[in-house]
């Protein structure tokens, strides 16, 4: 416990008036997304479809199959599903062993447990050996209100430094459904974030021909005033903010990056090099070591120097509470994005 948190322990809590409270559970299964259609458990269903034609596909979970949508696969293929218990180190080690025997394992848990608890096992058993293990993790960044024990706000920074590791941060049900066979075809290890439960379908509303491509960024919305470089559900938030800002005469482009590593530097440089636009990164991750710093490094080392800003989570352990309240508090809600961009232009 830090000095600050110890002091707060004995402070009188400020009570929000009932009429202003947001009535949602801290641990919600689905990300709220007004106005979008949703798909139930796109990861689980996509894995089942893939397994129909590929006998090498197996699934593993650390006592969290229901909470990573892997229970869909477990019900369809019980003889190809392995419940490893609450032991992430065992989970990834077993996945490595299966990969050595010719299988393509999809190992699921919460992002915070894979990145913090099992990192050394992933590094030594999977990444160093360049094995085709796909680590797919729910509750990335600030997608639970349960506090620092479950908020994986630094997972991208942790895995970006790991050689051989490909990193994916999908936006929506479309990304998730389409990425599953692509990840399975990839020869090396992958760490992917996962939205679970009823997942919004966003990308095809703005780009009907959208197709997930590993290692490729895609421009989802054109705009002449601001370029937002985004990943994960922040692409959805950026698109919603762009619609709101357009009513105030601010034209915002959105460049979606489902792959964090390897980053699509060529597309980012081409878009950021179109002069006169404010460039803003937006991510559901700490501003330390994630998409924002990766984009900043790409721009500076290639001599592209637009006015540049980052939207992301602060470098601190976050509060617990209802997600809408937390997202607004930390500036990753639609309102928060709009406020920040208006302050910069």
Distance (Å, whole) CA 121 – CA 311? 32
Q: If one looks up domain 203-344 in CATH, what number appears?
A: 3.40.50.920
What is the tens place of the pLDDT at every residue in 109-143?
999 999 999 999 999 999 999 999 999 999 999 99
Distance (Å, whole) CA 264 – CA 300? 15
Determine the distance from the C-alpha atom of residue 227 to the mean position of all C-alpha atoms in its chain, rounded to a whole number.
20
Phi and psi at residue 133, to the nearest 5°: -90, 130
What pLDDT, on a 0 to 100 scale, did the predictor assign at position 3? 53
Q: Is 238 helix (H, G, I), strand (E, B) or coil?
A: helix
Per cent of the chain over pLDDT 70 is: 91
Radius of gyration of the chain (CA): 20
Determine the distance from the C-alpha atom of residue 55 to the mean position of all C-alpha atoms in its chain, rounded to a whole number.
28
Distance (Å, whole) CA 55 – CA 246? 49
| pTM as predicted | 0.92
Averaged over 250-259, what is the pLDDT? 98
Distance (Å, whole) CA 198 – CA 41? 6
DSSP string, 257-270: -SEEES--HHHHHH
Q: Which helix (H) or strand (E) holds 298?
A: helix 291-301
Please tell me what DSSP assigns to residue 100.
H
Q: Is 145 helix (H, G, I), strand (E, B) or coil?
A: coil
What pLDDT, on a 0 to 100 scale, did the predictor assign at position 33? 74
Please tell me what DSSP assigns to residue 16.
P
Q: How is the chain split into domains, by residue range? A: 39-200, 203-344
Distance (Å, whole) CA 244 – CA 319? 28
- Taking a C-beta distance cutoff of 8 angstroms, is the pair 99, 133 a contact? yes
Distance (Å, whole) CA 296 – CA 118? 29
- Taking a C-beta distance cutoff of 8 angstroms, is the pair 116, 92 a contact? no
Q: Residue 5 is encoded by which pair of tokens?
A: 């948190």
According to DSSP, the residues that pair with 242 across neighbouring strands are none
DSSP string, 58-77: EEEESS-GGGTTTHHHHHH-
- Taking a C-beta distance cutoff of 8 angstroms, is the pair 65, 83 a contact? yes
Averaged over 84-107, what is the pLDDT? 98
What is the tens place of the pLDDT at every residue in 40-91?
999 999 999 999 999 999 999 999 999 999 999 999 999 999 999 999 999 9
Of 282 and 32, which is predicted with more confidence? 282
Distance (Å, whole) CA 225 – CA 345? 9
Q: Which helix (H) or strand (E) holds 272?
A: helix 265-272
What pLDDT, on a 0 to 100 scale, did the predictor assign at position 7? 53
| pLDDT, mean over the chain | 93
pLDDT band at 99 (very low <50, low <70, confident <90, very high): very high
Neighbour tally for 344: CB within 10 Å: 13
Q: 39-200 and 203-344: same fold?
A: yes
Q: If one looks up domain 39-200 in CATH, what number appears?
A: 3.40.50.970
Q: Look at strands 134-138 and 104-110 and give their pairing.
A: parallel
Distance (Å, whole) CA 147 – CA 293? 24
Distance (Å, whole) CA 312 – CA 234? 9
């Amino acid at each position: 416990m830090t000095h600050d948190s110890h002091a707060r322990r004995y402070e009188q809590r400020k009570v929000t008036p009932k009429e202003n409270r947001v009535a949602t559970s801290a641990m919600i299964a689905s990300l709220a997304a007004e106005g979008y259609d949703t798909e139930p458990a796109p990861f689980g269903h996509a894995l089942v479809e893939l397994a129909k034609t590929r006998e090498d596909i197996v699934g593993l979970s650390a006592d969290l199959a229901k909470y990573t949508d892997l229970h869909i696969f477990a019900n369809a293929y019980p003889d190809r599903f392995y419940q490893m218990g609450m032991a992430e180190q065992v989970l990834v080690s077993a996945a490595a062993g299966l990969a050595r025997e010719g299988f393509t394992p999809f190992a699921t848990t919460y992002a915070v447990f894979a990145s913090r608890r099992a990192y050394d096992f992933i590094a030594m058993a999977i990444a160093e050996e360049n094995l085709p293990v796909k680590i797919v993790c729910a509750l990335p960044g600030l997608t639970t209100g349960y506090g620092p024990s479950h908020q994986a706000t630094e997972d991208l920074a942790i895995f970006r430094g790991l050689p051989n590791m490909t990193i994916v941060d999908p936006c929506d049900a479309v990304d998730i459904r389409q990425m599953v066979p692509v990840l399975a075809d990839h020869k090396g290890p992958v760490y992917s974030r996962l939205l679970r439960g009823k997942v919004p379908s966003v990308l095809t509303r703005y780009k009907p021909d959208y197709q997930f491509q590993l290692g490729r960024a895609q421009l989802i919305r054109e705009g002449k005033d601001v370029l937002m470089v985004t990943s994960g559900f922040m692409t959805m938030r950026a698109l919603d903010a762009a619609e709101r800002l357009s009513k105030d005469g601010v034209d915002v482009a959105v460049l979606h990056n489902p792959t964090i590593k390897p980053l699509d530097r060529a597309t980012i440089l081409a878009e950021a090099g179109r002069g006169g636009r404010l460039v803003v990164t937006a991510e559901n991750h700490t501003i330390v070591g994630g998409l924002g710093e990766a984009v900043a490094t790409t721009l500076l080392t290639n001599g592209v120097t637009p006015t540049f800003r980052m939207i992301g989570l602060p470098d601190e352990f976050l509060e617990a509470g209802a997600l809408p309240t937390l997202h607004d508090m930390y500036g990753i809600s639609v309102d928060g994005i709009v406020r920040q961009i208006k302050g910069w232009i």
